Amino acid sequence: MSSPFESYDDLDDADERLQAADPAERRVAIIALGHSGDPAAVAHLAGMVSDPDAGVRQQVAMALGEFDGPESAIALVQLLVDPERIVASAAADSLAELKDAACADAILPLVRHSHAFVRMGALRSLKELRRKDTLKPALEALQDSDAAVRVQAIGVIGFLKLEESIPALTASINDSDAHVRRAAVSALAFSQMKSAAESITRALKDDDWMVREMAAETLGLNANGSVAADQLIEALADGFWQVRLKSIRSLGKMKLDRAVRPIGGCITHEQANLRKEAAAALGEIADPSGEPYLALVAGDTDPEVRKNARWALQQIAARKARAGA
């Protein structure tokens, strides 16, 4: 089978061009290797991780992002600890692209590195590898002094979706940093445990609106989210429309008839996004008591609101027809 890269002859004279005196020429050779798509290019790129020019090392980190596998991970790990931030950042971005679970062996030791950026980059890259042996170091990293590291640790735990990690995630909902609390709320979405839904519900009262917004959204995704129906209805009066919007969406997903009136109260809000969601949620619930509210936006200035209102009225008509049949 032909390859779109077969016309490239980058590897034939790669070593010669990688040794050029001009860093710009070495950089161009590295770009070509990255574009070649040939797995044999990884060895050539790995040989360049100690180049004296930071721009070249940055290019190596970016080029290695085109290749998956442990060989690429080993080279990227060396670049992640580079003293130049541009190199380390490029390595962190490329490490996050890895999908081969075997890469975790090279990355795991960096979870305890002395620099917070390295720990964060390592945890971020472990997330999508979903290896069970990453749970323990990720749980330990929840005690890290750097909030960005704790956020990435929650990412690793969330991707693993293991019920045994629920107590740790629940504890993180009380973290001092809002980004950590927000990540913890999001990671609890998968849990089937009632205690998880209860913890997310408490986050609806968080001081930070972004945590409350995430809690409102996550309750719509959680299997036991309906335990928070009353609190979500209360959240429709939140000071931030973003929280109200996610609460409306989650209540719509729960198809609660008693939510029609509070959702209907939001349908004339000045934010078109909110009116659109309110109309859609009334359609999801499809209770005939939603019709008067939908009539209010039948001539709305925003076409998306009118479209959702029409769809919602169709849903209500269909429900009536089913009930009459």
For another protein, the binding residues (CB under 8 A) are 22, 24-25, 27-28, 31, 55, 59, 62
Residue 39: CB minimum distance to another protein, A: 22
Given a contact cutoff of 8 angstroms between Cβ atoms, the answer to whether 210 and 182 are in contact is yes
Nearer to another protein, 24 or 237 (CB): 24
Integer Cα distance of 87 and 266 in angstroms? 49
Distance CA 271, CA 278 (A): 11
Distance CA 61, CA 237 (A): 48
Say how many CA atoms lie within 13 Å of 311 toward its Cβ.
Answer: 16
Beta carbon nearer to another protein, 28 or 272 = 28
Residue with smaller CB distance to another protein, 16 or 22: 22
Helix, strand counts (H, E) of the chain: 20, 0
The CB-of-47 to another protein minimum distance in angstroms stands at: 19
Closest CA to 254 of 228, 293, 292: 228
Smallest distance from the beta carbon of 263 to another protein, in angstroms? 35
Q: Is 60 or 77 the residue whose CB approaches another protein more closely?
A: 60
Nearer to another protein, 47 or 55 (CB): 55
CB-based contacts of 118, cutoff 8 Å, min separation 6? 80, 81, 88, 110
Please give the C-alpha separations between residue 88 and each of 54, 85, 115, 116, 185, in angstroms, as whole numbers. Answer: 10, 5, 11, 12, 29
User: Per the structure block, which two tokens stand in for 81?
Assistant: 């600890």
Q: How many CB atoms lie within 10 A of CB 49?
A: 20
CB of 239 to another protein, least distance (A): 29
Query: Minimum distance from CB of 66 to another protein (Å)?
Result: 13
Would you say 62 or 104 has its CB closer to another protein?
Answer: 62
Rg of the Cα atoms in the chain:
26
Cα 298 → chain centroid: 36
Min dist CB 53 to another protein, Å, is 11
Residue pointed to by tokens 């809002």? 178
**Shortest distance in whole angstroms from residue 60 CB to another protein:** 11
Quick one: 55 or 70, whose CB is closer to another protein?
Answer: 55
